[in-house]
Amino acid sequence: MYKIQNIRSGRRRPLLYAMTICALAPAGALGQHIHGVIELGVVVEGSTVAVSLDAPLSDVVGFEHAPESDEQLERIRQAATMLSNPDAMFGLADSAECAISDTSIDGPAYVLEHLGDDDAGAELSDHDHHDEHEESAAHDHHDEHEESAAHDHDDEHDEPAAHDHHDEHEESADHDHHDEHEESADHDHDGHEESADHEHDDAEQHSEVNANYQWECRSASDLDSLALRFTESFAGVETIEIQILTSAGAQVLTVEGRAKSVSLSRP
Amino acid sequence: MLHNIGNALSLVFKSLLNRRATAILTVASIAVSAGLLSIVDRVRTDTQTSFANTIAGTDLIVGARSGDLNLLLYSVFRIGNPTNNVTWNSYETIGDRPEVDWTIPFSLGDAHRGYRVLGTDLGYFSHYRYADRRSLAFDKGGPFTSATEAVIGAEVAERLGYDIGRQIVVSHGLADTSFLTHDEDPFTISGILARTGTPVDRTVHISLGGMDLIHTAGGADREVPPVAGYEPEEITAFLIGLKSRTAIFALQRFVNEFEAEPMTAVIPGVALQQLWGLVRVAEYALLGVSAMVVLASVLGLLSTLLVSLNERRREMSVLRSVGARPGHIFALLLSEAAILAFLGALSGLLLVQLGILAIRQFALSEFGIQLSVQLRAFDLYVLTGILGIAVLVSIVPAWRAYRNSLADGLTVRL
């Protein structure tokens, strides 16, 4: 199945490596939807620390649809409040003297609308929505209203071409050929049947929350770990896949969902 | 005291010399096992370094939707399955994002006498980084200035004996000798890059326009596309350098969710970590097997010593009669084991060094792996480890010799 190019540069080169690749699921890329798995990206560059978190909504609040009861609404509210408060999500060493410089949160509209519920988050929420518009403009969505923009973000793992709702079934038919990840291919089918019925309904769709935080630190060299405070409140997180990029290079690690902190220095 | 030790050592040596056949065999078996352990670890770490050194300063590699590793290995290391192309449109859209500092387009798929041909633009020579963020330097000449010019890597120049101004022909496809050579499309070598120790050395670089030139129907009256500003319809992949790395995950997400075309963005360092994660089991298995071989060779040493004890009873008795105490006999056997182990491990490591010097060029040109020649900490561990284990296990024969020397008189009944 895997043909190794018979050219000088590739000949007999780590055959083992080439062979293992075919057994590979496309792991690691942000934007996949696997229940129970949170993806965390951490960049430390100079005095700036940027953290990007991707989580299936079900792992954050326990369900993946617009709130249907007061209890669910309350949980969405709590999650939104927490997401918009970087200190509740992450902790950086005091000695590093870090101050939050940017926060942006993306997700289903029914989550985003609660970002402003908290007084402290009111301004923040405006900022977020602004960001989101910018991004969705670049995405070249043909929908105008905000709700549908959020909807597009919901099924993030979709084949982007499949967003085009004109020929949905055709797209999803050859979708399987593109996608190596069987599970997500299955999910897509569900998604499409659903969206064929009611295009802009969030119900039963995979919903993701994506949060980006950025800090400016006076002494970033003091940062040897990042406290994961959100793990106490997020329901259903099994593992956290973490990618850390520092001046020392890249690190990839997987920690359990209850982990309290992650080391930023090389092992 | 020192004199005594010197005497004792010369005694050990002379005793060993008397049994040189078994001694040499023991040393040889330890040498082979030590060398094996050393080379396995060296190839392992040097492979990782060579891969990591190939791409530095590139934040993201973007190509058509595929596995992360496949895209990385094909576009940068030229191994594995070709990936689909991405349209120039997508390339421009992503390249125009505000957080992007520079982009380098890659167009692959052709070869020159077995060496990969890479279609790219002039940004390649200014932005591409390897090892510790070193940029590409020209040994001779300079970048291509027209679509019919080519820049070759150091190894291509060396192996094929090419120089500036030489005309070469690029074949369609990857085979060494493709029947579909485009004789009517010769490229003139405009520059030779300095050696990098990366796949760049084994690459022929032409402009994107030149790439299209070899794929369109021949004819002398064809228009030669310009080098700068030429826009092909498709490219294989592209590299992205960001103004600030903090935008890396956001841009990766943007690319992965790109509406117009299914694409994958890979962070090179992360993908390589995933690769090492995958092969780690195999690496450790190899290391484990090598360690077992070391253990076996040390046990061989132990059994040789034990077997020799009986035939050396008289030797021991003579030593005792000239004043050696039982403790001396004990030390004698320990130092004998230590000397054998030390000589074995040392010659094993030296063999590895010699072997590396011999195959270095081959490993670099065939596998792209730069093997290091300097001694490393691991070699020291191998040496001391083998020495330690040998001394430890030789306590058994040493103890028996000690007991024997207490019991035996000068007239041993053999």
Q: Provide the whole-model pTM.
A: 0.74
Contact B67 A249 (CB under 8 A): no
Q: How far is B265 from chain A (nearest CA, A)?
A: 8
Question: Three-class SS of residue A52?
Answer: strand
Interface mutation target, options A16, A17, A152, chain B, most CBs of B under 10 Å: A17
| Integer Cα distance of B279 and B302 in angstroms | 35
The phi and psi torsions of B368 (rounded to 5 degrees) equal 70, 20
Task: Tell me whether residue A232 is exposed, middle or buried, using C-beta atoms within 10 angstroms of its C-beta: 0 to 12, 13 to 18, 19 or more.
Answer: exposed
Interface check for B248 against chain A (CB to CB < 8 A): the answer is yes
- The complex's ipTM? 0.75
> Which residues make Cβ contacts (< 8 Å) with residue B407, sequence separation at least 6?
none
Please tell me if residue B78 touches chain A, with a CB cutoff of 8 Å. yes
pLDDT per residue rounded down to tens, chain B (414 residues) = 556 777 778 888 888 888 889 999 999 999 999 999 999 999 999 999 888 888 888 999 999 998 899 999 999 888 888 889 999 999 999 999 999 999 999 999 888 888 889 999 999 999 999 988 889 999 999 999 998 899 999 999 999 999 999 988 877 655 555 455 555 568 999 999 998 888 899 999 999 998 888 777 555 556 778 888 888 999 999 999 999 999 999 999 999 989 899 999 999 999 999 899 889 999 999 999 999 999 999 999 999 999 988 888 888 888 888 888 888 889 989 999 999 999 999 999 999 999 999 988 888 777 778 888 888 899 999 999 999 999 999 999 999 988 888 877 655 555
> Per-residue pLDDT tens for A93-119?
888 899 999 999 988 888 888 886 654
Residue among B414, B130, B386, B67 nearest B256 (CA): B67
b/e map A42-62, b = 16+ CB within 10 Å: bbbbeebbbbbbbbbbbbbbe
Alpha-helix residue ranges (DSSP H) falling in chain A: 15-21, 57-61, 70-83, 86-89, 109-112, 122-139, 146-154, 168-173, 175-178, 182-197
Contact criterion met (CB < 8 Å) for B246 and A140: no
Nearest residue, CB atoms, A252 vs list B81, B252, B274: B274
Which residues numbered 296-355 in B keep a CB inside 8 Å of some CB on A? none
Residues with Cβ < 8 Å from B176, sequence gap 6 or more? A6, A7, A8, B111, B113, B114
Mark which residues 113-142 of B lie under 8 Å from A by CB.
114-116
Amino acid symbol at B42:
R
DSSP strands (E only) in B142-253? 149-152, 167-171, 181-193, 203-207, 234-235, 237-242
Burial category of B257 from C-beta neighbours within 10 Å (exposed 0-12, middle 13-18, buried 19 and up): buried
Whether A148 contacts chain B with CB within 8 A:
no
List residues bridging with A64 in a β-sheet. Answer: none
Q: For Cα atoms B213, B217, B218, give the angle at the middle one, nearest 5 degrees.
A: 80
Query: Rounded to an integer, what distance in angstroms lies between the CA atom of residue B77 and that of residue B344?
Result: 38
